[in-house]
Amino acid sequence: MVAKQQCGRRSDGGLATIGFLGDFARGHVLFSLYRLGPDQTQYPNGPCEYLLDCDDGVGPHEVCRFDDENFAPVWRGAWNGDAWCAGLMKQAKAFIAGAAPN
C-alpha cells in the first residue's frame, strides 16, 4: 500500500502550499513567507496580510505578521527585537516585490 503524501502546514494550521511566496535559509533555520490575503473583517477590506514562519527542525513557528500598507511587523515571542529582524524583513519585501532575495 502506498502511503498518502501529506502537505506541510503553516504555523497557523493552513496548508503550506496556499499563499506560499518562497523560502530562504539563515543559519540552520528555514524561513517561509505566505500571502494570507486582505483582512476581510472590515469594509472595505483591509490591506493584504503576510505571515513569516520559521522552522529550525521542530516544525513551523510564527515569526511575524505584517501588511503591505505599512510593513510594520508584529514580531512574536523572542523574535521581538531580535538582531535578525531587519534582514528578515528585507528578504520578505524582496519576495513580495517579485525579486530574488539577496
Instruction: Kindly report, residue by residue over 28-55, the tens digit of the pLDDT.
Output: 999 999 999 887 777 788 888 999 999 9
Q: What is the pLDDT of residue 7?
A: 59
Alpha helices in the chain (DSSP H): 85-97
Neighbours of 55 (CB within 10 A): 17
Q: Are 36 and 64 in contact (CB under 8 A)?
A: no
Q: How far apart are CA 85 and CA 28, in angstroms?
A: 16
Is it the case that residue 26 has pLDDT exceeding 70? yes
Domain boundaries defined on the chain? 20-95
Contact assessment for residue 93 and residue 99, using Cβ atoms and an 8 Å cutoff: no
